[in-house]
């Protein structure tokens, strides 16, 4: 049994959308390792060559995130209503972890963003209700935009269509919670997540892995000017998994922040990495092209998350980076140097 919950997920059927992505694949292995008799169904629109207008990949799902996984893998698009109908008919889900989304905050395709993030979520929620499956889904700190710290649920001001789409998901949730359904619905507003299995997000992967690979390549890490004053709430992947598991049995359905409430600077990341990697390359400061459209301070207000989910962050940034460094080194050797 897991340290996070007293729920026994053995003999339960669990759907993870976006299961070949960063957070989804970590959840898949959590269930596989802790509950070997659970049935895990992954739905993911695995990457193709298709890109968005900003040049980034439309889907970051990658088979390498699932090497060693022995559950059910389905390739498909959550916008495909026929596919959703088949899922509804062929399975009886107990839990749905909805991680699939257009998650690129710089994407400008408003039509695709709303269809994928908002409308498909409601379609999945209807399946959850029919199956009496608890729904846990990925919301985002992007809903806050430039709202002042600490960011608190109810004080949203999205600055891009991605943040807007996640806020619309949360609004749908509020509407369904009022119906007093037999299921719980929990939205988790992730702050800056880093850790294993994020590498295939390419340019949208965290600065932790990007700085790590710059340093391993013998290069001085590139930081925006004033990076000692650019403060973010960085959260290690294992604490995000913890929040998802604890959200399966909440005291109260709703939307909750998932962060550490202890923001750190980009300079801190570079300094901790250099200490862990045994280098002293200094830092290279470059002008910040995003002034005016950039969050300079994020800090999650996690009081209600602690109270209603029993969540408590376990990893400081020092702990998280230390735990992550062996994987950063492995990726550098197998992926970066080989240019795969």
Could you report the per-residue pLDDT of 140-199, keeping only the tens digit for each? 999 999 899 999 999 999 999 999 999 999 999 999 999 999 999 999 999 999 999 999
162 as an active site residue: the answer is yes
Q: What are the start-end ranges of the H helices in 4-160?
A: 22-34, 81-90, 110-113, 120-131
Catalytic option among 176, 201, 246, 332: 201
The answer to whether residue 7 is domain-embedded is no
Q: Is the pLDDT of residue 332 over 90?
A: yes
Q: Is the pLDDT of residue 14 over 80?
A: yes
Report yes or no on 5 lying in a domain: no
Report whether 247 contacts 179 (CB < 8 A): no
Report how many domains make up the chain: 1
Distance CA 250, CA 257 (A): 14
Q: Which residues pair with 188 in a beta bridge?
A: 138, 256
Q: Which residues on adjacent β-strands are paired with residue 13?
A: 39
Bridge-based pairing state of the strands 231-232 and 264-265: antiparallel
- Whether 214 is in a domain gets the answer yes
Tell me, yes or no, if 236 is annotated catalytic.
no
Dihedral in degrees, nearest 10, Cα atoms 50, 56, 57, 58: -80
Q: How sure is the predictor about 264, in pLDDT bands with cuts at 50, 70 and 90?
A: very high
Residue 169 within any structural domain of the chain: yes
Do residues 232 and 191 lie in contact, with contact meaning Cβ atoms separated by under 8 Å?
yes
The answer as to whether 129 is a domain residue is: yes
Instruction: Look at residue 3 and tell me if it is in a domain.
Output: no
Do the beta carbons of residue 193 and residue 324 sit within 8 Å? Answer: no
**pLDDT recorded at residue 51:** 84
Q: What mean pLDDT do residues 101-110 have?
A: 88
Q: How confident is the model at residue 292 (pLDDT cuts 50, 70, 90)?
A: low
- Secondary structure letter of residue 318 according to DSSP: H
Can you give the CATH number for the domain in which 144 is found?
3.40.50.720
Token pair of 256 as six digits: 């909750």
Lowest-confidence range among 28-42, 261-275, 276-290? 276-290
Q: How far apart are the first and last CA of the chain?
A: 37
User: Residue 4 falls within a domain, yes or no?
Assistant: no
Residue 104 reports pLDDT greater than 90: no
Percent of the chain with pLDDT over 70: 98
The average pLDDT across 122-145 equals 97
pTM for this one? 0.96
Determine the 3-state secondary structure of 270 from DSSP.
Answer: helix
Domain that holds residue 26: 13-336
Instruction: Sheet with 185-190: list strands edge to edge.
Output: 72-75, 39-44, 13-17, 95-98, 134-140, 185-190, 254-258
Q: Which residue has the higher pLDDT, 292 or 16?
A: 16
Smallest CA-to-CA distance from 325 within 208, 247, 238 is with 208
Share of the chain above pLDDT 90, in %: 87
4, 121, 137, 162: the active-site residue: 162
């Amino acid at each position: 049994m897991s340290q996070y919950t007293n729920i026994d997920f053995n003999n339960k059927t669990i759907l993870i959308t976006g299961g070949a992505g960063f957070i989804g694949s970590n959840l898949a292995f959590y269930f596989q390792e802790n509950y070997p008799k659970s049935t895990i169904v992954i739905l993911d629109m695995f990457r193709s060559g298709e890109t968005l207008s900003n040049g980034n990949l439309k889907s970051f799902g990658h088979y390498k995130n699932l090497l060693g996984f022995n559950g059910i893998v389905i390739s498909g698009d959550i916008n495909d209503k026929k596919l959703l109908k088949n899922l509804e008919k062929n399975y009886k889900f107990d839990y749905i972890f909805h991680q699939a989304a257009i998650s690129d905050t710089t994407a400008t395709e408003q039509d695709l963003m709303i269809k994928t993030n908002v409308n498909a979520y409601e379609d999945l929620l209807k399946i959850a209700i029919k199956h009496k499956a608890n729904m846990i889904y990925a919301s985002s700190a992007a809903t806050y935009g430039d709202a002042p710290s600490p960011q608190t649920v109810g004080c949203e001001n999205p600055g891009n269509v991605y943040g807007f789409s996640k806020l619309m998901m949360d609004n749908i949730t509020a509407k369904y919670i009022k119906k007093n359904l037999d299921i719980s619905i929990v939205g988790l507003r992730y702050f800056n997540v880093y850790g294993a299995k994020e590498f295939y997000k390419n340019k949208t992967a965290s600065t932790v892995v990007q700085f790590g690979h710059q340093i391993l390549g013998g290069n001085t890490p590139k930081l925006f000017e004033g990076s000692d004053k650019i403060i973010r709430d960085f959260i290690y992947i294992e604490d995000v998994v913890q929040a998802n598991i604890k959200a399966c049995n909440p005291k109260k359905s709703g939307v909750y922040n998932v962060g550490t409430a202890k923001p750190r600077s980009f300079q801190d990341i570079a300094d901790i990495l250099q200490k862990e990697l045994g280098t002293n390359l200094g830092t290279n400061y470059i002008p910040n092209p995003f002034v005016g459209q950039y969050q300079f301070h994020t800090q999650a207000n996690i009081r209600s998350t602690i109270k209603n989910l029993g969540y408590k962050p376990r990893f400081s940034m020092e702990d998280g980076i230390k735990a992550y460094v062996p994987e950063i080194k492995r990726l550098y050797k197998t992926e970066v140097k080989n240019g795969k």
